Every structure is written in structure tokens, then in C-alpha cells.
């Protein structure tokens, strides 16, 4: 079974402003034999990452981490740690598609422990999981792009040029 073997010793940095949720996630990951670092805010996570020489394999952050969004935190940490993989979590179920549009892995916070461990193992083991996503994480821009795409889809075709009539 993925995630339950002794050889899984990757280091995961977990960021969540909710102490109870953070404690539960940390306990799940430690039980699955991951090395776990944890922080209550983005600022704490940035300081922790700067203060350690340890390889951090995965950032598991709340989508709306205190002080900075999870995607922004991921981008910030990846600047110095390009091999860092990012997975976001949220209590809301509406973040899934938006997060996936930017290339980040996502799980809803009300997760089953086995599903969390399985998904983390999948993200860590997936080939070429560079996850360059997260750029321009702005739902207003996404809404604008979606509206523009809809307008383009219903726009009439441009008129044919007179000189091209009848030519194939």
C-alpha cells in the first residue's frame, strides 16, 4: 500500500492556521512515516524553510494560508527550492477546479487519512511533476478569461474578403 512503508521518509512542510486541523494532518503524516515540519502561517513557513538545510519534498498548505495564499506561498518557496512539490487543501469544495487549472494538486480538508497519504505519495512519485502552476492565481482574471472565451465562441465569423470569393 502506498504511504505505509518504512522507506517513505520524505519531508513535508504543512501550513494551516487552524491548530486542530494542523494537528490532525501532522499526526496522519507522522503515522505514515513522513518527516513533518509544520507552521501556523505563511511567514512561519518561509522562516522555517529558510532556516533548514533539509530537503523539503512537498508543501502541503491551506489554500488561504494566513498571511499569503497557498499558491503564492508555493511560488515563493519554489524560487529557492525548484524541486518542491505543492499540494493545497481547503475546507471548501469550490477550490478544486481553480487550483487544478494552475497545476497544483488539491485535496479537500475533510479528508480520509488514507486518501491524504495516498494522494501525497502520488504527487511525490509522479514523473515530471514540476508544477509550474500558480502564476496569476486570481479568480477575477479567471472569470474575465472565461467571459472572453464565451464571447469569442458566440461571435459571428469575420466577413469574407471580396478577392477570395470562389477560390479554394
* Complete domains list, the chain, with CATH: 11-154 (3.40.50.2300)
pLDDT tens figures, 103-161: 778 888 877 788 899 889 888 887 654 454 444 444 444 444 434 444 444 444 445 55
d(CA 168, CA 160): 13
Angle CA 41–122–36, to nearest 5: 35
pLDDT of residue 22: 94
Q: Sheet harboring 85-90: ordered strands across?
A: 35-39, 11-15, 58-62, 85-90, 105-108
Identify whether the C-beta of residue 63 lies closer than 8 Å to the C-beta of residue 70: yes
pTM over 0.75: no
pLDDT of residue 14: 97
Residue 126 or 82, more confident: 82
pLDDT of residue 101: 63
pLDDT of residue 78: 92
CB count within 10 Å of CB 83 equals: 11
Three-class SS of residue 122? helix
d(CA 26, CA 125): 20
Amino acid at each position: 500500500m502506498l504511504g505505509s512503508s518504512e522507506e517513505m521518509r520524505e519531508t513535508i512542510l504543512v501550513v494551516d492556521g487552524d491548530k486542530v486541523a494542523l494537528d490532525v494532518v501532522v499526526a496522519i503524516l507522522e503515522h505514515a512515516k513522513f518527516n513533518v515540519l509544520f507552521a501556523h502561517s505563511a511567514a512561519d513557513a518561509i522562516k522555517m524553510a529558510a532556516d533548514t538545510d533539509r530537503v523539503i519534498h512537498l508543501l502541503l498548505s491551506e489554500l488561504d494560508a494566513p498571511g499569503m495564499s497557498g499558491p503564492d506561498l508555493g511560488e515563493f518557496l519554489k524560487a529557492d527550492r525548484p524541486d518542491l512539490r505543492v499540494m493545497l487543501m481547503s475546507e471548501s469544495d469550490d477550490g478544486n477546479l481553480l487550483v487544478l487549472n494552475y497545476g497544483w494538486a488539491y485535496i479537500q480538508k475533510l479528508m480520509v487519512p488514507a486518501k491524504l497519504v495516498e494522494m501525497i505519495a502520488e504527487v511525490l512519485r509522479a514523473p515530471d511533476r514540476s508544477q509550474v502552476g500558480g502564476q496569476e492565481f486570481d479568480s477575477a482574471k479567471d472569470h474575465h478569461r472565461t467571459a472572453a472565451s464565451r464571447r469569442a465562441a458566440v461571435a459571428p465569423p469575420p466577413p469574407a474578403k471580396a478577392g477570395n470569393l470562389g477560390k479554394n
